[in-house]
A = this chain, B = another copy of it.
Amino acid sequence: MRTRDSYLGHPRSTIDGLDKAILKALQLDGRRPYAQIGRELEVPEATVRQRADRLIARGVVQVVGVTDPLAMGFAQPAFIGLQVETGHLEEVAGRVAAIDEVTYVVLTAGRFDVICEVVCADNEHLLRVLGESFGSIEGIRSTETMVELRFVKESYRWGSR
């Protein structure tokens, strides 16, 4: 089901201190049992579970296996920077987000209006995604593909403020 990991909007709803502590624990290890997190934070396991479930449901956190694309057989991941016709930003971003090979979409200020990441198996797969999937979206002014040659760091442990 796509809808859970794709959101247009921004979840600035209130996150309290306990939420932050639970999120931080999950950033360090997504599989840590809720009972153990509860003991560390001195709250019942049921509370941790309830809070975690709600944070997941609201899209504040996803607990997932983040895999190396190469290991999964996807040898050609790439960033694509888009320039979008003025006034079509949200619509284009939404349609880009609906492409299966697109794993990441963010609206940006600067040279590009949208930066997204695609995970493809090889050059032909990448060309097919560019030609067929992006090619059918109205309102894209230009695309610039930046092939990813090697991952050096991918960290999800930035704590909280």
Partner-B contacts on A (CB < 8 A)? 2, 5-12, 15, 20, 23, 25-31, 59-75, 78-79, 83, 86-90, 93-94, 96-97, 100-116, 119, 121-124, 126-127, 130-131, 134-137, 140-161
Q: Take A62-B65, A65-B30 as given contacts and tell me if A73 and B161 are in contact as well, using a CB distance cutoff of 8 Å.
A: yes
A-B contact pairs, 21 of them (CB 8 A): A5-B154, A10-B151, A27-B64, A30-B30, A61-B65, A61-B68, A64-B64, A72-B161, A86-B143, A90-B131, A94-B152, A103-B156, A103-B158, A105-B152, A107-B152, A109-B109, A109-B149, A111-B146, A116-B153, A126-B149, A141-B142
- When distances are taken between beta carbons in the complex, the residues of chain B under 8 Å from A130 are 86, 89
Pair B27/A160 contact, Cβ less than 8 Å? no
Copies of this chain assembled into the complex: 8
Please tell me if the beta carbons of B65 and A107 are within 8 angstroms of each other in the complex: no
Closest to A141 in B: B142
Greatest chain B CB density within 10 A among A60, A86, A87, A97 is at: A86
Known: A63-B63, A69-B158, A96-B152. 15 other contacts (CB 8 A): A5-B153, A6-B155, A11-B68, A15-B72, A27-B64, A28-B64, A61-B65, A72-B160, A79-B115, A86-B143, A88-B135, A97-B152, A105-B154, A106-B151, A109-B147
